[in-house]
């Protein structure tokens, strides 16, 4: 599709779409709990709809009246074998987290997805789940999907030092630990998003977290709850950056989830000199209103423990860095290579096609600042976050057109992205 180019200013207020990570987990916890769970503000993006369909095919009754999702939880023991292999679409979160739930079942399940899912590494979840007693196998002896998960109702607890910083791996182990007999201990490499830990508590379970060490005593029985999903900071990120780098802009983003394990981008914006204000509201200040204004930014180094707190925002942070004064260096982000696409290569290739000066490295990117962008043909590689980042980049293109291939990927996490963008540039007088 032809992207919108050459916009001078963005203005207005956007109610950000709901959090993808929390939406997935709300269906999962609702299903494995006993009793009814109601979910408000569920994200009806393709990935979360894959999770919803997956649990329906495991025998869970889930209703959607267009506003509230109601999950009639069966408990772990009430899940039924799926009649067909389960299609997870493009969703890494679905395939990895559901594996931890299926690991404790007394039946086998086959899980498959699209071309991108078929390339995502799964040994990271298969290894710990197999150590707990499940039998998880990939395609033709490899670690890649389709996966077959042969569950084991007598799962053993595990003591596990995580080799990668991954909330998906941690969550898969925690779902298995809730079904095992005894205490599981997981030690994170770096702290990652902790929505699974939060929801174990919310659904009446017990979990102890001390720094990077997490302890869960199994088996546990969870109880259905009311879940209200906040807005997704990973979706807000595109408009946060747009408001900072386009001239004469001021954007207000409402109801953004502010879980501290997800707010690395706010720290980076502040460090780069961005004008950003946050008004926290809601229970435990876990959501709030964020305002950004056009800013003079400066390049910085981004590395270490902050990386998991902004991993999905790195493509749009890289675009922000092309407009800052000086060089920005991103390190310790090799996990970007195993997302929906290799995001290190995708960011460098596609932004360089538009005139940026970005060097990909083994674990990150080196980005020259103050580069003018020009028209060209680009692709999202079927990755929603690359697609949205390229549309924000196109707004800066003053001459020529930008043609984006595979723009449909954006519906994975932000089905109304183009409508929200249009509101902002219309209100900005474009």
CA–CA gap between residue 38 and residue 202 (Å, rounded)? 13
Closest to ligand SPQ by CB, 12 or 121: 121
339 interacts with ligand SPQ by CB under 6 A: yes
By rule CB under 6 A, what string of x and - marks binding of each residue 365-394 to ligand SPQ? --------------------x---------
CB 339 within 8 A of CB 329: no
Compute the least distance from the CB of residue 58 to ligand SPQ, in Å: 19
> What is 156-201 written as a DSSP string?
PP-EEE-SS--HHHHHHHHHHHTTSSEEEEEE-SS----HHHHHHH
Residues 192 to 251 in contact with ligand SPQ, rule: CB under 6 A: 193
Query: How far is residue 298's CA from residue 275's CA, in Å, rounded to a whole number?
Result: 12
Closest distance of CB 275 from ligand SPQ, Å: 27
**Cα separation of 373 and 410, whole Å?**
22
Query: Which residue among 311, 354, 389, 409 contacts ligand SPQ (CB under 6 A)?
Result: 311
Q: How far is the CB of 419 from ligand SPQ (least distance, A)?
A: 20
Size of residue set near ligand SPQ by CB under 6 A: 18
What are the DSSP calls for 331-362, one per residue? -S-GGGGGSSS-HHHHHHHHHHHTT--EEEET
Q: CB of residue 422 vs ligand SPQ: minimum separation in angstroms? A: 23
Among 87, 194, 335, 420, binds ligand SPQ (CB under 6 A): 335
Task: Show the site string, 13-52: x = touches ligand SPQ by CB under 6 A, - = not.
Answer: -------xx-------------------------x-----
Which residues inside 52-91 make contact with ligand SPQ, applying CB under 6 A? 91
309 touches ligand SPQ (CB under 6 A): no
Is 312 annotated in the active site?
yes
Long-range contacts of 351-360 (CB under 8 A, 24+ apart): 351/318, 351/319, 351/322, 351/390, 351/393, 353/377, 353/378, 354/378, 354/390, 354/393, 354/394, 354/397, 354/402, 356/322, 357/322, 358/318, 358/322
The catalytic residues are: 312
Give the interface with ligand SPQ as residue ranges (CB under 6 A).
20-21, 47, 91-93, 166-168, 171, 193, 311-312, 335, 339-340, 385, 413
């Amino acid at each position: 599709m032809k992207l919108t180019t050459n916009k001078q200013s963005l203005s207005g207020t956007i109610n950000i779409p709901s959090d993808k990570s929390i939406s997935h987990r709300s269906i999962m916890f609702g299903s494995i709990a006993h009793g009814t769970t109601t979910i408000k503000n569920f994200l009806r993006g393709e990935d979360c709809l894959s999770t919803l369909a997956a649990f329906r095919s495991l025998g869970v009754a889930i209703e959607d009246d267009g506003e509230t999702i109601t999950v009639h939880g069966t408990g772990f023991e009430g899940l039924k074998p799926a009649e067909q292999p389960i299609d997870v679409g493009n969703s890494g979160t679905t395939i990895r987290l559901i594996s931890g739930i299926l690991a404790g079942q007394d039946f086998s399940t086959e899980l498959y997805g699209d071309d991108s899912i078929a390339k995502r590494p799964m040994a990271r979840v298969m290894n710990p789940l197999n150590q707990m007693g499940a039998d998880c196998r990939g395609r033709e002896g490899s670690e890649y999907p389709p996966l077959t998960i042969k569950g084991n109702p007598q799962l053993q607890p595990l003591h596990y030092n995580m080799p990668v910083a991954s909330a998906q791996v941690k969550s898969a182990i925690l779902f298995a630990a809730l079904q095992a007999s005894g205490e599981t201990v997981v030690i994170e490499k770096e702290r990652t998003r902790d929505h699974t830990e939060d929801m174990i508590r919310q659904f009446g379970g017990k979990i102890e977290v001390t720094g990077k060490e997490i302890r869960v005593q199994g088996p546990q029985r969870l109880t259905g709850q009311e879940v209200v999903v906040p807005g997704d900071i990973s979706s807000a990120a595109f408009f946060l950056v747009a408001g900072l780098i386009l001239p004469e802009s001021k954007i207000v983003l409402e109801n953004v989830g502010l879980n501290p394990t997800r707010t690395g981008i706010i720290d980076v914006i502040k460090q780069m000199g961005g004008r950003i204000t946050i008004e926290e509201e809601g229970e435990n200040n876990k959501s709030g209103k964020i305002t950004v204004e056009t800013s003079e930014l400066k390049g910085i180094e981004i590395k270490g423990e902050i990386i998991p707190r902004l991993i999905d925002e790195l493509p749009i942070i890289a675009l922000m860095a092309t407009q800052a004064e000086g060089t920005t260096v991103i390190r310790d982000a090799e996990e970007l290579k195993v997302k929906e696409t290799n995001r290190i290569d995708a960011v460098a290739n596609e932004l360089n096609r538009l005139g940026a000066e970005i060097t990909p490295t083994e674990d990150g990117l080196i980005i020259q600042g103050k580069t003018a962008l020009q028209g060209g043909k680009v692709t999202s590689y079927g990755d929603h976050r690359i697609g949205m980042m390229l549309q924000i980049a196109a707004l800066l293109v003053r001459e020529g057109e930008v043609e984006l291939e595979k723009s449909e990927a954006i519906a994975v996490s932000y089905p109304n992205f183009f409508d929200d963008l249009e509101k902002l540039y219309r209100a900005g007088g474009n």
